[in-house]
Amino acid sequence: MKIAVLPGDGIGPEVTHEAVRVIAALDLGIDLQWAPVGGAAYKAHGHPLPADTLAVAQASDAILFGAVGDPDCDALDRHLRPEQAILGLRKALTLFANLRPAQVFAGLEARSALRPEIAALIDMVIVRELNGDVYFGEKGFRTNAAGEREGYDVMSYSTSEVERIAHVAFRTAQGRKRRVCSVDKANVLETSQLWRDVVIEVARAYPDVAIEHMYVDNAAMQLVKNPGHFDVVLTGNLFGDILSDQASMCVGSIGLLASASLGAHQTAHGTFGLYEPIHGSAPDIAGQGLANPMATILSAAMLLRHSLGLAPAADRIEAAVAAALADGVLSRDLGGNARTTEIGDAVLTRL
C-alpha cells in the first residue's frame, strides 16, 4: 500500500507530520512517498504541481494532502498560484466527490459558535462536487463596452456531472439517516435549475431516501439556526466550499474538519482518493506549533477507511482523537494551549 504525502505550504507540513506519525504508529506496512506541492513546489521547481509530484500521486493508492497557499505567490499568474496544485490534482485525477463530515465532538459543545444545545445536534456530511462549477469554467479579464476592465468566470454543470455526485450523496445517505438536502440557487441560476432537475430525476432511484431542495441563502441560515436538521448536504463546488467553512465554525473550529475527495477509480483495497483538512495554509501561524492537526489526523483516518480498506484502524484513530478532545487536549483555535506536536502525542498515547 502506497500513500503519497504532499505537505504543501504554511501549516501544511506541521499538521501532515502529526498525521504521518499516527499512521506510522499503527504499523500497517504502508509505504510513504513525499512530494512538493503549492508555493513550496513553485519556489523549488517553478510549478505548484510539478509533473514528478503528479506522477507520485498517480502511482499511489491514496494521497495525504496538507494545505496550499502562500502570500508570496499572490501576484503570480493564476496558473502558477499554489491553489492550482489542489485544483489540478482534483481535476487531473477526476476526484469529483468531496465528503466533508461535520459532527460535534463530545465535550466540545461549548466551543461551537452556536449555543451548545443547538451545536450538540450537528451530525452531517457535506457532499461537495469538486470538478465543475464556476471553479473550472472559462475565466478571464476583458474590457467592456464602457471601456472598463471586467473579470468573468463562467458557471456551468452538465447533466452527467450532477448525476454522478447525486448518486454519491444518495448512497452516502443510505448509510446514515437517509435524508439528502440538495442546495442550489435555482431561483436565479440556470446552472442550479439544471442541478435541481437532475437531482429530482436521480432521487427516483432512491425511494428509501428523503430528498429536499433548499436555496443556498436559506441553507446558510438553517445551518446556524437548526444544524441538526441536516444529514447529507448535496451541493456544487462553490456553495460547498462556503457552507463547509461555515459548518466548521458550527462544530467549533476549522481545525477539526477532515475531507475525502473520491473518484471512480478503484485500487486494490478501495477507492482511490485524496485526503485533506478543509482548512488552508494559515500563513499567519505557520511554523509556531499552534496549528491544530486534528483535521489532518482525521483525514488520515478517512484515507485508511476509503482507500486502503482499513476501517478498524480508522475507527481507532477517530476514537483516539475524540478521547484526546474529550480530555481537553485543545489547540489555540479551540481555546486551549496544546501545541501541534503535543496534540499528536496525545492522540498516539490514546491509540
Q: What is the side-by-side order of every strand in the sheet holding 97-103?
A: 31-34, 2-8, 62-67, 271-277, 258-266, 97-103, 123-129, 232-235, 179-184, 210-215
- Active site residue: 72, 74, 197, 217, which one? 217
> 313 vs 27, 304, 324, CA distance in Å?
10, 7, 17
Query: How far apart are CB 26 and Mg ion at their closest, in Å?
Result: 29
Query: How far apart are CB 85 and ligand IPM at their closest, in Å?
Result: 9
Q: Which does 300 bind (CB under 5 to 8 A by kind): ligand IPM, Mg ion, none?
A: none
Among 80, 4, 16, residue whose Cα is nearest residue 294: 16
Residue 135 annotated among the catalytic residues of the structure: yes
> 343 vs 205, 281, 348, CA distance in Å?
44, 18, 9
Q: Which does 86 bind (CB under 5 to 8 A by kind): Mg ion, ligand IPM, none?
A: ligand IPM
Residues making contact with ligand IPM (CB under 6 A): 69, 83, 86-87, 241, 278, 280
Q: Which residue is nearest to ligand IPM (CB)?
A: 83
Q: Which does 87 bind (CB under 5 to 8 A by kind): ligand IPM, Mg ion, none?
A: ligand IPM
Partnered with residue 212 across adjacent β-strands are 181
Q: Which does 263 bind (CB under 5 to 8 A by kind): Mg ion, ligand IPM, none?
A: none
- Active site residue: 157, 241, 275, 333, which one? 241
Q: Which does 83 bind (CB under 5 to 8 A by kind): ligand IPM, Mg ion, none?
A: ligand IPM
Query: How far apart are CB 343 and ligand IPM at their closest, in Å?
Result: 22
**327 CB neighbour count, 10 Å cutoff:** 12
- 86 vs 95 by CB, closer to ligand IPM: 86
**81 CB neighbour count, 10 Å cutoff:** 20
Residue count of the chain:
351
Is 105:325 a contact under the CB 8 Å cutoff?
yes
Residue 185 annotated among the catalytic residues of the structure: yes
- Active site residue: 184, 185, 231, 333, which one? 185
DSSP label at 78? G
- Active site residue: 9, 61, 135, 333, which one? 135
- 100 vs 196 by CB, closer to Mg ion: 100
Residue 208 annotated among the catalytic residues of the structure: no
Among 273, 170, 186, 278, residue whose Cα is nearest residue 231: 170
Query: How far apart are CB 278 and ligand IPM at their closest, in Å?
Result: 5
- 263 vs 280 by CB, closer to ligand IPM: 280
Residue 245 annotated among the catalytic residues of the structure: yes
Strands (E), 236-292: 258-266, 271-277
Query: How far apart are CB 161 and ligand IPM at their closest, in Å?
Result: 16
What amino acid positions are annotated as catalytic residues?
135, 185, 217, 241, 245
